[in-house]
Amino acid sequence: MAEVKAYAAYKAKEKLQPFTVARRELQPHDVQIKIRYCGVCHSDVHQVRDEWSHGIFPMVPGHEILGEVVALGKNVRRYKVGDRVGVGCFVDSCRECSACRKGLEQYCEKGFNATYNSYEKDGKTPTFGGYSSEIVVDENYVLKIPDNLSDAEAAPLMCAGITTYSPLKTWGIKPGDKVGVIGLGGLGHMAVKFAKAMGADVALFSTSDGKEKDAKKFGATTFINTKKSDFSKDHANQFDLLINTVSANIPIEEYLETLKQDGMLVLLGVPETPYSLNCFHLIMKRRRMAGSLIGGIKETQEMLDFCGKHDIVSDVEIIPIEKINEAYDRMIKSDVRYRFVVDMSTL
Ligand code: NAP
Ligand code: ZN
Ligand code: ZN
């Protein structure tokens, strides 16, 4: 067991502070990673504040991990010391169920082993995430980072990237399709970049004044300020696909009205309170709603390679670890342009 530095919330809703984590001894297929950067996802905030309940504390968040391989278990074949690698939202899964066999480990029937706020395969050792100096992960759950992507800007691809890439692929977005992205934060800005790279005509729905210029820089052709327009009427029946990245409850019925017949609204954001819905918004135009969870290992590597090919990265604000609590407060106020990334050399 190696003791490594970390930052943790000792209890639900508490501020994060210094903590020490014991990482496991290297197993034959384990890769030891020195973490250089870790992105800050809104899911970190939800979990530290225990908004999804049953949080395991102390909690070391962080599932947008970018680092360097520093040691290998004796049977590791996929990586060598010095490789630049990423780790996302899960670090293992059952590997046997039909979802795992299809490379959809995020939907593992037995529940995947999340990077933090979860347990290792023994079912009793808590997992601790990327706000730490090192992590040990099985090589099958580690991703290779293309050489042309820089460390800090690539880190958010491990969650914000794959979470938005996956539904665009699942629902087959192609040139000329009309995609609406709701919310311009960490996930939202990646959704705009990916949809644009896939040839879609992208609109961005935002509650913030002052994000129009950035939305257009990322590839949106239309910016819709939802506080200042009657958007469900102005943009009725327009979109093939809507991607909802908002971390709070939004007027979902108004957004459904902007979908074409057979259009799909994909839920990515996880508000604390349930949605209520009059079914007519779906029934009258055979519209659909679905959820989508991150992405599997195979698709995450495909997404990283797509980013390498198209030069797609996240727009980041790099912070030292002491600023993490302030970053959470700013994230809640939608004041992030567009992903905080912690420089782990400051730990
Ligand atoms: P984020 O960076 O904080 O962005 C969320 C954006 O939503 C904000 O920038 C803001 O955009 C908008 N927003 C926030 N509060 C709002 C409110 N009260 N009303 C309307 N709009 C609001 O968060 P993120 O990291 O992108 O995560 C977004 C959500 O996705 C979170 O709930 C997170 O837990 C979830 N998530 C899901 C998955 C998955 O696999 N499904 C993976 C990762 C994260 P504007 O300023 O443009 O309005
Ligand atoms: Zn995340
Ligand atoms: Zn499984």
How does the average pLDDT of the chain come out, rounded? 97
- State how far Cα 236 lies from the chain centre: 29
pLDDT of residue 136: 98
φ/ψ of residue 219, rounded to 5 = 130, 0
Residue to substitute in 246, 268, 330, 332 for testing ligand 1 pocket (most ligand atoms within 8 angstroms of CB) = 246
Residue 268 CB less than 6 A away from ligand 1:
yes
Tokens found for residue 31: 């890769």
Any idea what DSSP says for residue 339? E
How many Å apart are CA 282 and CA 288, to the nearest integer? 6
Looking at the predicted structure, is the pLDDT value of residue 1 above 90? no
Q: How many CB atoms lie within 10 A of CB 247?
A: 23
Residue 220 CB less than 6 A away from ligand 1:
no
Residue in 156, 170, 163 with CA at minimum distance from that of residue 62: 156
Looking at the predicted structure, is the pLDDT value of residue 273 above 90? no
Residue 106 CB less than 6 A away from ligand 1:
no
Q: Within 13 Å of residue 323, how many CA atoms lie on the same side as its CB? A: 14
Residue to substitute in 105, 163, 228, 247 for testing ligand 1 pocket (most ligand atoms within 8 angstroms of CB) = 247
Instruction: Give the pLDDT confidence of 113-164 residue by residue, as tens digits.
Output: 999 999 999 999 999 999 999 999 999 999 999 999 999 999 999 999 999 9
Strand 288-291 and strand 259-267: the pairing is: parallel
Q: Which ligand is nearest to the CA of 96?
A: 3
pLDDT of residue 2: 86
